[in-house]
Amino acid sequence: MSKYFRPWNIDQTLLLPPNVQDFVPKGHVSRFMVDLVRESLDLREIMGSYVSGLGQPPFDPRMMVALLHSYASGLYSSRRIAKACRERNDFVMIVALDAPDFRTISDFRKRHLKALGALFVQVLKLCETAGLVKLGHVALDGTKIKANASKHKAMSYERMKKREAELKAEVARMLAAAEAADASEDETFGNSDELPDWTVDKQKRLAKIQQAMAALEADAKLAAEEERRIEAEKEQQRQAEGRKKPGKPAALPSEEPNPKAQRNFTDPESRIMKSKDGFVQAYNAQAAVDAHAQIIVAQELTQHGSDQGQLVPLIEAIESNLGRKPRQASADSGYCSEANLEALDTRSIDGYVAPGRAKHPTVANGKVGGPLTQAMRKKIDDGGFETPYRLRKQVVEPVFGQIKQARGFRQFLLRGIEKVRAEWTMICTVHNLLKLFNLANAA
């Protein structure tokens, strides 16, 4: 007896559902995104930017914002999003069978980067209203995310100076040869003022290197001026207190760039940073995560590889976003400094910042760091297994895992720190949206 199979009605004509939302089941995240942009988000800044009545009617901005659903699905490229709008039911439902072109999607995001980034605070306050934010304990951490540039397109200042001299010599030699050839050809074919293509290409490369050198020199000059300003303030304080700086006078800060200082030609504002995967051309993405439901309550993006200067800005961002400070805050040893620990004490925040391990303890007392660092080491050690510092790893690191591993965001698509900062803000916004969706779906 032959086996019976379910009928395969591939050629049967079917009617589409009367409502495009029936393309996806109830409780789907795409439906949640549509309801959110239609009912909860304030999009007046985006809607108000469309004032001209000329040309074809643009796509509804609410629909375009709802396509942030792509970030929740691990799709970040405008081409992949446009393809999904034609092929995936959840995206077809959002665009209501009227799929935008990939250029439209890309241009919309670029045009409204600032406004889309501002949605972070709106979504965060929705999470707070839903009871997902308590600010009892907040964990801080940073992760290196690759820039849209290769580290092999970077060049050190020392190498730039050498290459500049080489290119100048090459261009001079080529121009001399071209002039000699032109002189003989002009006698036969007439005069021509056009330079050969290979000479123009060399001149363009020389100009790019000189531009990068000028940028590094400007950065070094600004850094030297800032160092002199800080030292002058310290000297004024010492004079006011009647003290003198011990030892020999310090050498003046140099305005010459460090020979190893590098600049990338693809994305000049990105930096080579050390990560778990070795040295990468990257940005340093920062996040402060609430321990109650892993909501990102503050985020930042910097081009500095060190986390030390980011603790105070993150704490201040939390208060700016939510109007109140966290009761406790934890961070790893990358954030530890006397100034940061003092800032936590000044703000009456119960801080737990790992003091790190000492390679060379002082001979006098066998301890490393200032009094606040030593007190923090004792505070964490005395807490033992119950110390709140243990919350740090289980609060903030899973968030980076969800973003980079579960949703596959491992490299920025945009270039330039302002655009990349807005892109990171959108990633954090969608993370919080998914937490809000999980709460709504569980109810």
Q: What's the pLDDT score for residue 292?
A: 94
Cβ contact 123:429 at 8 Å: yes
The average pLDDT across 220-243 equals: 71
Q: Quick check: 195 pLDDT over 90?
A: no
The encoded tokens of residue 263 equal 């600049």
Of the candidates 156, 74, 25, the one whose C-alpha atom is nearest the C-alpha of residue 431 is 74
pTM beyond cutoff 0.75: yes
363-385 pLDDT, tens digit each:
444 456 788 999 999 999 888 88
Q: What's the pLDDT score for residue 427?
A: 96
The average pLDDT across 232-244 equals: 71
CA gap 49, 116 in Å, rounded: 13
423-442 pLDDT, tens digit each:
999 999 999 999 999 988 87
Mean pLDDT of the chain: 84
Q: Quick check: 232 pLDDT over 90?
A: no
Of the candidates 190, 207, 191, 196, the one whose C-alpha atom is nearest the C-alpha of residue 173 is 196
CA gap 361, 430 in Å, rounded: 45
The encoded tokens of residue 376 equal 């923090």
DSSP letters spanning 272-332: EEEETTEEEEEEEEEEEEETTT--EEEEEEES-S-SGGGHHHHHHHHHHHHSS--SEEEE-
16-34 pLDDT, tens digit each:
777 888 889 999 999 999 9
256-304 pLDDT, tens digit each:
777 777 777 888 889 889 888 888 999 999 999 999 999 999 999 999 9
For residue 443, what pLDDT band results from cuts at 50, 70 and 90?
Answer: low
Q: What's the pLDDT score for residue 327?
A: 95
Q: What's the pLDDT score for residue 277?
A: 80
For residue 15, what pLDDT band results from cuts at 50, 70 and 90?
Answer: confident
CA gap 278, 295 in Å, rounded: 29
Q: Is 197 helix (H, G, I), strand (E, B) or coil?
A: helix
39-89 pLDDT, tens digit each:
999 999 999 998 877 778 889 999 999 999 999 999 999 999 999 999 999
The average pLDDT across 215-224 equals: 71
Q: Which residue has the higher pLDDT, 357 or 124?
A: 124
Q: What's the pLDDT score for residue 178?
A: 67
User: According to the per-residue pLDDT averaged within each range, which of 147-161, 166-180, 361-375 is highest?
Assistant: 147-161
Q: Quick check: 199 pLDDT over 90?
A: no
CA dihedral 73, 79, 84, 86 (to 10 degrees): 160
* CA angle at 362 for the pair 357 and 363, rounded to the nearest 5°: 135
Q: What's the pLDDT score for residue 362?
A: 47
CA gap 129, 33 in Å, rounded: 18
Percent with pLDDT over 70 in the chain: 84
CA gap 381, 210 in Å, rounded: 53
